[in-house]
Structure 1
Amino acid sequence: MQLELRHLRVICAIADAGSLSRAATAVGVSQPALTAQLQRVEGALGGQVFWRGRLGVTPTPFGQFVLTRARSILLTVDELVTGVSAYDGQSNLVRIGGYVTPVLSGLLTRLFEVPGVSITVHTEYSPRLLLDLLASRRLDAVTLVDYPGNELPTLPSVGMRLVATEPVFVLMSSRHRLAAEEEVNLADLADDDWVISPPDGVGWPECVYSACQEAGFTPRVPHSMSEQAVIRQLVAGGHAVSPCQATVQDGPGIVVRPLAGNPLWLRHLVAWRRDGPLAQRAQELAEFAMEAHREAIAERPHYVAWTVRNGTAATLG
């Protein structure tokens, strides 16, 4: 038997009812039919989901494992189909999404301090997906990134504000031959291995490859991943260099260095639904995002030093 969503709903109904007879009434079938269906489900899963007793049914340890995942799957499918989450219906709820940056974390810090507002948070790697979730009313406001020449589209139902335009830096081992330099020529990294995060749907990492080609080489990229902890581990071990946001924090074994001539840039944006709960507070939302970005710059000595040398901070919206 092939397991289907309706089978997951059956075992959740049995767990909620606590007995096969009550569950049969709830789902509108006879108890023998429900019992037979449960047996087929357990056969498909390869284990017993419930212990049966005189007082009803209780999940087995395997059953607890199955139920946890079944409820998660059903919640996700229901939200995907209807666009409604378990939190919808709360009049003071604001659903915030974002691409993980200090702009998002700083914005959330400020929004959580707004009286009378409840926040839920949803992150995605793809800025284009986040914009689609916003336009389809799954989210109320999002933080985004894109790249000059590969700007996100404007949508009639979505308001958008530029937060800042900033250079892309490079992450390298503190033992790298160029680690002591104030800034690094991109061409001087031609012989390094690179770790580059996968495509995000709005021009990354295509913009990195283009910049490298303009510098006279094609980067050697044996590693592709988005998990920052693993990227930092590879870099700290001297196994690769990686392009990074200028607001990335250095740390043990790692330094962040600007690229000479600033061949790569990205934009931070904040967007909101024009008919959403933050539409009347769009200016405040944008100010929160810009404050968060300025705060992140101030906490990164390598970024502060870059602004001093260049006579300007990142271009603010």
Structure 2
Amino acid sequence: MQLELRHLRTLCVIADAGSLSRAAAVVGVSQPALTGQLHRIEAALGGQVFRRGRKGVTLTPFGQFVLRRARSIMVTVDELLGGAESESGAKPGAAAAGLRIGGYHTPVLTGLLHRLFEMPGAPITVHTEYSPRLLLDLLVSRRLDVATLVDYPGHELPALPTVGTRVIAVEPVAVALPAGHPLAGLDEIPLSELADEDWLVSPPDGAGWPECFYTACQEAGFVPRVRHMLTEHEMIRSLVAEGRAAAPCQVTLNGGPNVVVRPLTGPTLWLRHVLAWRLGGPLDDRVPELAALAVEAHEAAVADVPGLAERLVRGDTALASS
């Protein structure tokens, strides 16, 4: 017998019910039929999943192994089908049950969430992804209601007929350096001054990073010597603090006591924070409110960065003219 998703779902039902008789009632088959199906599933898996007793069934150690993976698979499948079910109406009211927000770890996302969690209303669920293009796809497929995204000069996110967008802020790309670096005392650093550094960059996000950084380096007259490629913020801070590499980053990154973050100067060293939402979705009438909260979140994040407000205005002008 070939194992199918319905067999994994059956195992989950039996485990939750605690007995074959109760599980049979949930599944809508007779107990002998369910028992026979369980035997076939266990034969396909090559081990006993449940111990049968007078008080019901309990998981074997092998069964615990199987159920952990079965539940993980079912959660993933339900997530994949969730948007289609909402769109088709298979789960009436599902889209209105909560606000589904997506994004990546940016001050706009975290600040927006903090503000929304403090407001009364529908429950909020959060879904983070590294790729802005993937987040756009999740909006189009009705798996998200709103998302905070980033894009870069020359790599602006595409306009989609079912997704609305609004620019929240424009800011310079920055560099994280060890606190003892010779350039750490500057307010902003020309990229060309870092030509001899070893670099740590985050992986491609499908929306123009790190391609825009490589382009800026070429415009500054060098090819970056990339030694490391990471996404984990704590490991990035650790390697930078130890002097292992310089790292391009968001200007609002909290570097900690041994890392300094300085804006980089260059014509293409900017990024935009963008709020995106599903047109015709549950948030159409709340876009101005959400955008205002997102702007407030970004302003709060950069308030302690000297001179950054002026650079944001300059960056907005530069991007508009590019």
TM over 0.5: yes
State the distance in 2 between where 1:123 and 1:311 align.
26
Q: Spell out, residue by residue over 1:191-220, the C-alpha distance to the aligned partner (whole angstroms, 9 max, x if none).
A: 221111111111100001001111111111
State the distance in 1 between where 2:205 and 2:93 align.
28
2:123 matched to 1:115? no
State the distance in 1 between where 2:219 and 2:134 align.
30
Q: 1:180 is matched with which residue? A: 185
Q: Spell out, residue by residue over 1:219-239, the C-alpha distance to the aligned partner (whole angstroms, 9 max, x if none).
A: 111211211111111111111
C-alpha deviation, 1:16, in angstroms: 2.3
Secondary structure of the residue that 1:133 maps to in structure 2?
helix
C-alpha deviation, 1:141, in angstroms: 0.7
Letter of the aligned partner of 2:307 in structure 1?
A
Alignment of 1:1-317 (within 5 A): 3-24=3-24, 26=27, 28=29, 30-43=33-46, 48-83=48-83, 84=85, 89=94, 91=96, 93-261=98-266, 263-298=268-303, 300-301=304-305, 304-307=306-309, 310=311, 312=313, 315=316
State the distance in 2 between where 1:4 and 1:229 align.
40
Secondary structure of the residue that 1:203 maps to in structure 2?
coil
State the distance in 1 between where 2:293 and 2:205 align.
25
Letter of the aligned partner of 2:8 in structure 1?
L
Q: Spell out, residue by residue over 1:138-193, the C-alpha distance to the aligned partner (whole angstroms, 9 max, x if none).
A: 11111110011111111122111110111000011112232223222212222221
Q: Which runs of no fewer than 5 residues in structure 1 stay unpaired?
A: none
Q: Spell out, residue by residue over 1:219-270, the C-alpha distance to the aligned partner (whole angstroms, 9 max, x if none).
A: 1112112111111111111111110011111212111012234640000010
Give the direction of change, closer, same or farther, for the CA distance of 1:121–1:209 in structure 2 (3 Å limit): same
Letter of the aligned partner of 2:162 in structure 1?
S
C-alpha deviation, 1:87, in angstroms: 11
C-alpha deviation, 1:114, in angstroms: 2.4
Secondary structure of the residue that 1:160 maps to in structure 2?
strand
Letter of the aligned partner of 1:97 in structure 2?
G
Q: Normalising by structure 1, what TM-score?
A: 0.88
Q: CA RMSD in A?
A: 2.6
Q: Given that residues 142 and 270 in structure 1 are in contact (C-alpha distance below 8 angstroms), is that contact kept between their aligned partners in structure 2?
A: yes
Q: Given that residues 216 and 266 in structure 2 are in contact (C-alpha distance below 8 angstroms), is that contact kept between their aligned partners in structure 1?
A: no
Q: Spell out, residue by residue over 1:70-115, the C-alpha distance to the aligned partner (whole angstroms, 9 max, x if none).
A: 2222122123134258996273521111122000111111212222
Q: Given that residues 7 and 41 in structure 1 are in contact (C-alpha distance below 8 angstroms), is that contact kept between their aligned partners in structure 2?
A: no
Secondary structure of the residue that 2:159 maps to in structure 1?
coil
Give the direction of change, closer, same or farther, for the CA distance of 1:118–1:311 in structure 2 (3 Å limit): closer
Letter of the aligned partner of 2:72 in structure 1?
S
Q: Given that residues 87 and 93 in structure 1 are in contact (C-alpha distance below 8 angstroms), is that contact kept between their aligned partners in structure 2?
A: no
Work out the number of aligned pairs and report it: 310
